[in-house]
Chain A
Amino acid sequence: MRIAVCIKQVVTREWQVRVNDAKTWVRDQDASWELNEPDAYALEEALRLREKHGGEVVVVSAGPARVTQVLREALARGADRAIHVDGEHLATADGFAAAGALAAALKDEQIDLVLTGLQSDDQGFAQVGVVLAEALGMSHSSIIMEVLVDPSTGSGQGGQLRVKRELEGGWFQWIAMPLPAVLTIQSGINQLRYATLKGIMAAKKKEIRVVPAPAAAVARQRIASIYLPEKSKQTRMITGSPAEAAKELVRVLREDARVF
């Protein structure tokens, strides 16, 4: 079975977001980068499926040159090879442009199953997997918490899939569908593994194929302005040493807020 995992490189959670002067994007020149966490769960799920059923895990990322970092990391965790869809404009691309770039790289790869995180930690569209399925003509399901595959013998020859989809408020649902398919994976589906030294060494010999991004599609979304959210409440910030602040907080909760 051939599994593709679409991964995104995002700014780290700790990075302090600063808006650029034009207020159209963030000043990320000095940012540190990491693998989008939901995509890490998608990668882990792909590695587990390969361990069970055999086959190949191909990681794909659409973005500027810097995304090589997360592709290399995915290879170190155990992916077999990588495809980098290279385009500077993909750094700020909307969901359609990202899905289009990924689809162009995957359409001739005879993929049985495409996995990706349910959304990214930066723009957070939660669109790419679903739109990618439409672009590739594949079935899909989203927010998946368990993947059972009954593959046929070779790549690109079909098979069946049964997935557990998360619904709201603690409900779930099993859904069956044919391969090939696209699934968006929910965080927490598995326990992540990290790269070993051996994996890091092995990754150096693995292929990262660079393909140019398809001609930039017409943008569907234009960011008119980015700004810090307006406060919805008057927050009283309590300052002082930890002991003073804690004591004051307990006092206001008891005397002002009267919550106990």
Chain B
Amino acid sequence: MILVVAEQKDGVLNRASWEAVAAAQQMGTPVTIVVPGADVSGPAGELAAADVTEVVALEHTALGAYTPDGFVQALAAFVTETSPAHVVFTHTYQTRDYAPKLAARLDRAIATDCIGVKTDSGGPFFVRPMFQGKVNADVALEGPAPHVATFQIGSFRVDAVKKGSAPAPVRRVAASVDAAAIRQKPEAPFREAKQAVDLSQAERIVSVGRGIKGEEHIALAKQLAEALGAELAASRPICDAGWLPMERQVGSSGQTVAPKLYLALGISGAIQHVVGMKGARTIVAVNKDPEAPIFELADYGIAGDLFEIVPAMIAALK
């Protein structure tokens, strides 16, 4: 049995959980989905549309707010009881916080941040990007089952999920949790500031990465953005350095965008950035490293010095 762990917050299903369902269905059958939380009848009912054996609502009042201690307790007990061959997650920030701990508690192997799975000849092999996406590795997990795998958001399509002819049965299970043993006391999530810039609505985006080298060069990218009628955005390191405000960050920790044009200047294409922009219709990459992973998803590329290319583009646009 392949067990998918779905994610919800306050009774609202995280849509990325469907991607883990698609991954599990590709790996084999039967598939069961478990949703941990305090009252998860809503998300469990929604997930029952998938072609799976059953959906388990794994409930306990102490699971109302996510904590790694609480979720590891609940899932370690449930996994031990149900003995799946694989436990599959979508690689969200929540998954990152506790899936490795769950594997450690169970003393079982885990492959994190996978982008695919190969089930042919002797598999499964989990495909993982390494070295900032410059190479992929096919990884086999060893030792006794269950093996845990987490899949990067966007690796599987939500519309690839096979739906059942009738809703799968939903079973409510009281989770085994010792609330007193939960050490983390989480407060309510909040946003730092109103996002003044909504990049998701931008038609064109010029985005800068480490290749811009210094804060004094941001103005050059800004000129190109103005000439193209584009918004200016950046990869995380640029915002970390304070060269552009955090609200202009594209990627897993920033905004997700889908413009007509995404022009990446000096961006290598690490997966954390790519998940935020790969939905763009036309992707252009300018990078001095012809092997930069960004070229793998670019429609047009120039392998060259952005400090020469960008002024020439501004001139050509006038």
Contact = CB atoms under 8 A, between A and B. Distances in A.
Interface string A224-259: 111111111111111100110111011011000101
Interface residues of A, number: 80
Contacts of A77: none
A11 interface: yes
Interface stretch (B44-52, B55-63, B164-172, B247-255): B247-255
Contact of B192 (A172, A229, A230): A172
Nearest to A231: B296
Given A233-B297, A253-B284, 11 more contacts: A125-B100, A126-B100, A126-B113, A169-B254, A170-B246, A173-B188, A177-B183, A221-B142, A229-B129, A246-B313, A260-B228
Contact of B297 (A175, A178, A221, A232): A232
Interface in B290-318: 290-291, 293, 295-305, 308-310, 312-313, 315-317
A201 interface: no
A245 B186 contact: no
A14 B289 CA distance: 9
Contact of B186 (A130, A175, A224, A225): A175
Contact of B255 (A170, A223, A229): A170
Interface residues of B, number: 94
A225 to B, nearest CB: 5
B68 A17 contact: no
Contact of B138 (A118, A178, A225, A257): A225
28 contacts: A124-B129, A130-B96, A141-B184, A143-B96, A165-B97, A167-B93, A168-B92, A169-B254, A170-B255, A171-B189, A171-B190, A171-B191, A172-B190, A173-B188, A178-B183, A188-B236, A218-B142, A218-B143, A221-B109, A226-B130, A226-B138, A237-B302, A239-B302, A245-B304, A246-B315, A247-B316, A249-B302, A257-B282
Contact of A222 (B96, B97, B139, B183): B139
B131 A17 contact: yes
A231 B69 CA distance: 40
B235 to A, nearest CB: 11
Interface of A is mostly: mixed
Interface of A: 11, 13-14, 16-17, 19, 26, 95-96, 99, 118, 121-127, 130-131, 133-135, 139-143, 165-178, 186-188, 191, 218-239, 242-243, 245-247, 249-250, 252-253, 257, 259-260
